[in-house]
Amino acid sequence: MNPVQAVGRSTLGMARTAGAVALFAGRGVAAALTPPLFLGQLWRQLAQIGYFSLPVVGLTAVFTGAALALNIYTGGGRFNAEQIMPQIVALGITRELGPVLAALMLAGRVSAAIAAEIGAMRATEQIDALRTLSTDPFRYLVAPRLAAAVIVLPLLTVVADIIGIAGGWSVAVASLNFNGALYVKNTWDFLQSWDVVSGLIKSAVFGFIVALMGCYHGYNATGGARGVGRATTHAVVSAAILIFASDYLLTSVFSHK
């Protein structure tokens, strides 16, 4: 195959995949917005996706906030701007790192778990069984996961924002001789609600991506256990890439505001 053909073929392949994913997403959203809804499943997923992700998200945020504070303090010192470190940390966490890191943790934990679970259900004909029992798998499996991730990731991001800023605060107070109360006041006075809100909008989109990639790859898994393994990997990788790409897109849209 010559290079032009190869490029053409992979472009076509990508276009086909994008179309299939868009169709899948459309069906999932339609199922989430129209009855019958499976609220029991939604609760279950909220717990699975949200509650059990708190520890990893919290840990990631606290260390990142602390490291970010140190870096900015050191860097800022080069032009005597150490004192605005709290503001920069707050901005970095709320606008960028809180949403992205929480989303990446969820991509690793939740996309993979969703793809594995739905992929195994596909391999063992449980998805076919759902349909023979008059239950639409998009309503029973896909919609609750999409909805739960969209609801939960912004909440996790709020937690990540708070813990991340607290991480920066701890380092500042413990080893950089900042005044704790002043640090909080500076952060609070500086932050605008849009800094936080724009991050939360991003994280809702990321939540959708995380659940969508898990569901899509799991649902389309073929070839038994190996297929499930492949689906899991693809779900995590594609979720991560889409998170970064949409992060840039959304940020550039927001920055025109």
Partner 1 sequence: MTGPMGTGAGPKLELRGVKKRFGGKVVLDGVDIAVERGRSLVIIGGSGQGKSVTLKIAIGLMRPDAGKVLVDGRDVTRLGGAARRALATQFGMLFQGAALFDSLSVWENVAFRLVNADRVKRPEARARAVAALGRVGLGPEVADLYPGELSGGMQKRVGLARAVAAEPAILFFDEPTTGLDPINADMINDLIVEQVQRLGCTAVSITHDMVSARKIGDEIAMLHNGQIVWRGPTAEIDDSGNPYVDQFIHGRATGPITGGA
Q: Which is nearer to partner 1, 21 or 37 (CB)?
A: 37
Map residues 100-129 to x or -, x wherever contact with partner 1 holds by CB under 8 A: -----------------x---x--xxx-xx
Q: Contact 54/156 with Cβ under 8 angstroms? A: yes
Q: Which is nearer to partner 1, 30 or 67 (CB)?
A: 30
Dihedral (Cα; 77, 79, 84, 89), 10-degree rounding:
-60
Omega before residue 137 within 30° of 0, cis:
no
Q: Residue from 140, 178, 206, 219 that binds partner 1 (CB under 8 A)?
A: 140
Size of the site for partner 1 (CB under 8 A): 15
Structure tokens at 44: 């279950």
The Cα 69–Cα 84 span in angstroms is 10
Q: Which is nearer to partner 1, 85 or 112 (CB)?
A: 112
Q: Residue from 28, 29, 32, 38 that binds partner 1 (CB under 8 A)?
A: 38
Instruction: Tell me how far, at minimum, the Cβ of 238 lies from partner 1, in Å.
Output: 25
Given phi > 0 = left and psi -120 to 50 = alpha, else beta, which region is 125?
left
The Cα 152–Cα 146 span in angstroms is 10
Q: Which is nearer to partner 1, 96 or 136 (CB)?
A: 136
Q: Residue from 63, 76, 84, 135 that binds partner 1 (CB under 8 A)?
A: 135
Q: Residue from 1, 4, 133, 181 that binds partner 1 (CB under 8 A)?
A: 133
Q: Which is nearer to partner 1, 34 or 179 (CB)?
A: 34
Residue 62 contacts by C-beta under 8 Å, 6 or more apart in sequence?
Answer: 163, 164, 166, 167, 170
Could you give the angle at which helices 98-106 and 143-175 cross, rounded to 10 degrees?
Answer: 130
Burial 128-137 (b: 16+ CB within 10 A, else e): eebeeeeeeb
Q: Which is nearer to partner 1, 11 or 124 (CB)?
A: 124
Q: Residue from 24, 56, 63, 136 that binds partner 1 (CB under 8 A)?
A: 136
| Residues engaged in binding partner 1 (CB under 8 A) | 38, 117, 121, 124-126, 128-129, 131-136, 140
